[in-house]
Amino acid sequence: MKLYHGSTVGVETPDLQKCHPTTDFGQAFYTTTNFEQAEKWAKIKQKRADTDKMFVSVFEFNENILQSNDYTVIRFENATHEWLNFVVANRRGITQANCDFVNGPVANDSLYATILLYEQNIISADAAIERLKVQKLYNQLSFNTERALKNLIFKTIIEIKANINGMTTKMLP
């Protein structure tokens, strides 16, 4: 399967030490099967970093590895109570599990407000899940260990350029 990673730098060799520890699935290298989602993340990171650089790194991955007993995999099919609590705990820096991969929905910036309301006990878990159900949830697959990263095969880096209308164009290598 093809996996994409959006950032302000092209990534050929992911480095877990450079990954932020308090993200959805913990300190990990994040990918998605959806190019547009990776492009959106590159744009979000570009705005946060106040740079004009945006890239989508492309990888190949044998998805059968996720079915193997050789690796530990946590899977979330949808935004559930377990997923919500897992994301909140990781964003707070609480280690949830020692695993190689986590596969599930992305809690992107547009969903962060809902998660924040839940974290602050302003809304219940049920209300948060209901709010999340109406959002378009993309998938993400995180590589949480060096061992897991060895299964990721780099293919190419695509530079994303924004024009004056805010539209993006893909600059193929």
Q: What is the pLDDT of residues 106-160, one digit of tens each?
A: 765 567 778 788 888 899 989 888 877 766 677 899 999 999 999 999 999 999 9
Give strand pairing partners of 74.
102
Least confident range from 11-15, 21-25, 120-124, 151-155: namely: 21-25
What is the pLDDT, as a whole number, of residue 163? 59
Q: How confident is the model at residue 168, as a pLDDT?
A: 55
Tell me how crowded residue 2 is: count the other CB atoms within 10 A of its CB.
13
Q: Which residue has the tokens 């020692």?
A: 98
As for how many domains the chain has, the answer is 1
Q: What percent of the chain has pLDDT over 90?
A: 49
* Predicted confidence (pLDDT) at residue 173 exceeds the cutoff of 60: no
DSSP code for 14: -
Beta-carbon-side half-sphere exposure of residue 90 (alpha carbons within 13 Å): 21
CB 92 within 8 A of CB 22: yes
Parent domain of 111:
2-171
Taking phi over 0 as left and psi of -120 to 50 as alpha, with beta for the rest, 93 belongs to left
Does pLDDT of 83 surpass 60?
A: yes
- Output the pLDDT for position 16: 93
Q: Mind listing the pLDDT tens digit for each residue in 38-66?
A: 998 899 888 888 888 999 999 999 999 99
* pLDDT score for 171: 52
pLDDT of residue 63: 95
Alpha carbons 12 and 126: distance in angstroms, whole number: 40
Mean residue pLDDT across the chain: 86
